[in-house]
Structure 1
């Protein structure tokens, strides 16, 4: 493959090096810049969430073609994160690669995760509040918004954890594949299918849920704060395991374990 050919995808070993290098850069971001980029990412995922809510209004929200369409629309969130540039907690599970190779410290990793999670929370919940004041979450849309969070709150802890792990495996694979592409269109196509699949399958994404719960409350849902927090704790832990263990460590040992960089 010609390294100058922008239409050729990077090979997996090169992707691993690029992902690890990105993890080092992320860990070194100034605190305020990291937080601002995390707020943007939370809002971007929220835009995907409200678009998903609109698409699922008036149709069967369980399984089938409507859910696939909902997944394609929800992909907007990660497309904005990757192409626009922002810091997403679930994607930053891939930073474990850099931590394992001691290119960043455990303290830097946990600092990044904590700051980005808080920024995502601020961005996603802030966008939900904005849509609440916009008047959009009324009529049929508010029924859908309330139904979405009731389903999430009803999940047992183990279900939420496993769905979170499977979800972030697909999210991190989408990010991994986006590193293979050299063009914007290539990155968009790489993101669409893994994200659409996780939505279609009913898997759980912590940052998306941070948006969905406030949206549901503003639409009149009676889900309690305790139920929302329980869901977020188990989904977040699952997201870490699925992204850091299922993708980051697996690819690190597959492609970087015996290399000198």
Structure 2
């Protein structure tokens, strides 16, 4: 048998199976911010559409859990939160552009690598792209008649979730949105620090499921929840007029503002 070569410290450092350090994660966030701000408008919009659809898939998964009235409150909220994580897992693993995650472009702005014009351009394009993707998802869900599942309870849950969001008072709505994006940015930060898909999934799980379980307000998820609830309500689910366009606009304006602050 040949001699076993000794393990060299340089080889161990090269492998680096552990996550990035906070300083390395910040450097990565700044570099990604520069890249995102410089992205071509068409590519940015299409990538944002994907993110809007991905978050909608997670939101739909959440509605499936909420349609089971037999689940205890805590179990329903926690399980729904875990299911919602699907959306951000897809966003981070596929490299799509999500408005709430892109609030972290302020890292690149703070270091002087990106001007405010670049940040605001990205936020505007991504918000609109997320909305477009959410609307496509709503159309697919309605054409597939998902609301009829479980004897129509899924459709009732879709309307119930949306109706609860349009009646929130402005102050709690705003601060629920602030808290939401604190958790989302922490999840995205963990995703930046991760080296593998497994790292990303595990790192995302707790912060995202926590904000969903606590009922915080995510503007991109609400693009799906609210419009889907509006269409389901028009199709006969829930009380007539439970979700209206004015309520959707009200929620999206305040939840977007709160997410930016968060």
TM-score by length of 2: 0.89
Counterpart of 1:49 (choices 56, 59, 66) is 59
For residues 50-108 of structure 1, give each alpha carbon's deviation from its aligned partner in whole angstroms, at most 9, with x where no partner exists.
01001111226894011111011100000000001100000000001111222111111
Closer/same/farther in 2, CA of residues 20 and 27 from structure 1, 3 Å limit: same
- Answer yes or no: is 1:75 the counterpart of 2:85: yes
- Answer yes or no: is the 8 Å Cα contact 1:71–1:200 preserved in 2: yes
Residue range with higher mean Cα deviation, 50-59 or 33-42: 50-59
- Alignment CA distance shift 1:6-1:84 (3 Å): farther
Question: Which moves more between the two structures, 202-211 or 130-139?
Answer: 130-139
Question: 8 Å contact 2:135–2:224 — kept in the other structure?
Answer: yes
Partner of 2:37: 27
Match of 1:88 in 2: 98
Identify if the C-alpha distance between structure 1 residues 64 and 100 changes in structure 2 by more than 3 Å, giving closer, same or farther.
Answer: same
Name segments (4+ residues, structure 1) moved above 2 Å: 1-7, 59-63
> Larger radius of gyration, structure 1 or 2?
2
Q: 1:210 aligns with which of 198, 223, 229?
A: 223
Alignment RMSD: 1.5
In structure 2, the CA distance between the partners of 1:3 and 1:21, relative to structure 1 (3 Å rule), is farther
- Kept after mapping to 2: 8 A contact 1:149/1:216: yes
* 1:98-109 to 2 correspondences below 5 Å: 98-109=108-119
What number of residue pairs does the alignment pair up?
242
User: Hey, what does 2:254 align to over in structure 1?
Assistant: 234
Structure 1 residue 168 and structure 2 residue 188: aligned?
A: no
| Rounded Cα–Cα distance in structure 2 between residues aligned with 1:6 and 1:183 | 12
Q: Identify if the C-alpha distance between structure 1 residues 158 and 63 changes in structure 2 by more than 3 Å, giving closer, same or farther.
A: farther
TM-score by length of 1: 0.89
Q: How does 1:1-261 map to 2 (within 5 A)?
A: 3-59=13-69, 63-138=73-148, 139-220=152-233, 222=241, 223-242=243-262
The 1:123–1:67 alpha-carbon spacing in structure 2 relative to 1, beyond 3 Å, is same
Query: Which consecutive unaligned segments of at least 5 residues does structure 2 have?
Result: 1-8
